[in-house]
Amino acid sequence: ISNDETKNWKGIDKSLLPRSFGKQLFPSLIPSLDHTLLFKIPIGISNIPEAYPKEYCDTWDDNHVKMPCSRHNLFLVHHNNKSSKKNRWDVITYSLLKPILSSEELEKAIISYNPKYKDKWRFYLLHSFFDECLNEEETEEFFNNLLPKIINLALQLPTLVTKPIPLLKQTHNHSISLSQMQIACLLANAFLCTFPHRNVSNSKSEYSEYPYINFNGFFQLMVNSSANHYLYEKLKCIICYFKKVTSANSVLNGVVTYSRRRLPSGDLPYWLQSTKKLTNLYITSDGTIEDNGDGMLQVDFANKFIGGGVLGHGSVQEEIRFLICPELLVSQLFSEKMLHTEAIIITGVERFSDYSGYANSFEWKGVHLDITPIDDNNRRYTTIVAIDALYYNDPKNQFKTKNLRRELHKSFAGFSWGQDSECSDVAIATGNWGCGAFRGDCHLKSLLQLMSAAQANRDVAYFTFGDTKLMDSIHSMHTFLKSKNITVGEVSRILIKYYACLETLPYVGVHDYIYDAITNKAWQVFENKEYQSG
Ligand code: AR6
């Protein structure tokens, strides 16, 4: 057997793929109408970014995150048949500064400023984590040492996050840059469930179109069998993060940018007419997006509510990424549910944990030292592109024209990020997007991603997550399409035909269909009215 047949990668050599290292990351750190910076610029490389403006600026409206420390954050207290309004931040401060030495006391403190939930919340996960998972020494260490630091961090909110945080609303392109310290403070607040109006999510609630941010839902999960022990492992990742960010000798001087991008309707590609040719592909059955996609646009196989089930039962690709890089969680504070032609891009996050396993077998494996280089503005060369695939109950539906177009537009919304920047050619690190929990077909989804990467003029690093057969088949298809000089438009036309054939003919896999169609030149005569509009 030659080396070539046993190697676990195919296509172009990975070292030839363009990366972002040394380039100016997008968007640049310049405040504008589209970019809110919550710290002072310029920041020196060794300095910790300072909050900007100096004084806390209170805003309580529909366009900004409602802050726990706002003077408008009031709640009604009934006492001796009288009701009065109390400032919630005062109660938060008072309750959290009292000694908290057990999970019961922590629950009680959290309930004191969320009194509506007094008889509704029971923090099963939190209690059993300390009772069953950690030993006595570790539990003491948490309550005596770490928790006071988390609380201290949370209570610095009015001095650390002084500028109102805009909500990243649907259809609005906007970026928010925060310092790592500000992010840590916001996450400490989320952990302590202080964000107002963020505890329920029924269809009528104010933030029903936003992900969860307070940890109450997570703390309430139940670990009733060993199959659920991965929930403890999720909590360990969070604790690992807080240990690092509160440790006296860690320098938190980085910056992270959260951006929402919508494809302008005038820029939606006409897929059927696209004359783009496929770009380079590096494909491997080894490694992962986060370990091996350094310096590339790393795809988050997202939920339209970014973060998916990270504060619930989920522990697949997106959730794991959010657990090992908890700074991603802050996106849940302000990102409204994604629409079909939108993506969320997060630049500069640090990785804090290592892990093993997946889903139920997920395990925290200790501290990760992130050695990814940083740019002149202390932003790490790590860019995450969150795009949500569609969930398919019936696998046939993914081949419908409107769904093909939707997934092309969605991935293109992410892949075309920063097209006029120095990073416009940076490769995409992806894999079986939409093909796990969302039940898509790997052959189709890999092709759609190759097509939108080609449309965005970017090469692709594809991780098949251990599947060598899939690596071979995607590589062969890519080589075939390149050798025949096939355009993105031509592949689109063939895919549309495939759906019609699924309805009538005996089952043929999508790859076989494409090989056959191209060999017999069947696509050339095909036109589709619906697709002509995009
Ligand atoms: N690197 C490369 N490939 C991976 C990795 C990784 N780190 N992890 C998993 N895969 P899935 P979806 C492969 O199910 O179908 C979440 O709850 C592996 O082959 O996470 O788009 C979100 O919040 C896996 O089967 O993505 C959404 O609600 C495949 O990628 C929902 O799941 C798909 O991973 C999205 O589901």
Residue 6 pLDDT > 80: no
Distance 439 CA to ligand 1 centre (A): 10
Catalytic residue among 107, 290, 319, 375: 319
pLDDT one-digit tens code per residue, 305-315: 999 999 999 99
Residue nearest to atom 27 of ligand 1 (CA): 303
Counting ligand 1 atoms within 8 A of each CB, the residue from 298, 390, 432 with the most, and so the one to mutate, is 432
What's the one-letter identity of residue 86? K
Atom in ligand 1 nearest the alpha carbon of residue 438 = 15
**Beta strands 35-37; 255-262: pairing state:** unpaired
Could you give the CA distance from residue 335 to residue 82 in angstroms, rounded to a whole number? 39
Under 8 Å CB-to-CB from 348, ≥6 apart: which residues?
A: 25, 254, 255, 256, 257, 374, 378, 379, 380, 382, 383
Atom in ligand 1 nearest the alpha carbon of residue 435 = 15
Residue nearest to atom 24 of ligand 1 (CA): 436
Please confirm, yes or no, whether 375 is among the known catalytic residues.
Answer: no
Ligand 1 interacting residues, C-beta cut-off 6 A:
288-290, 301-303, 308-309, 314, 316-319, 389, 431-438, 463, 465
Mean pLDDT (the chain) is 94
Residue 525 pLDDT > 60: no
pLDDT one-digit tens code per residue, 300-349: 999 999 999 999 999 999 999 999 999 999 999 999 999 999 999 999 99
Predicted pLDDT at 205: 87
> pTM of the full predicted structure?
0.96
- Kind plus residue range of the DSSP H or E element containing 86: strand 82-87
> Bridge partners of 79?
82
ipTM over 0.85: yes
Q: How many residues does the chain have?
A: 534
Predicted pLDDT at 528: 46
pLDDT one-digit tens code per residue, 127-145: 999 999 999 999 999 999 9
Distance 361 CA to ligand 1 centre (A): 15
pLDDT one-digit tens code per residue, 28-49: 999 999 999 999 998 866 678 9
Q: How confident is the model at residue 110 (pLDDT cuts 50, 70, 90)?
A: very high
> Which one, of 379, 210, 230, 242, lies nearest residue 307 by Cα?
210
Catalytic residue among 107, 290, 294, 300: 300
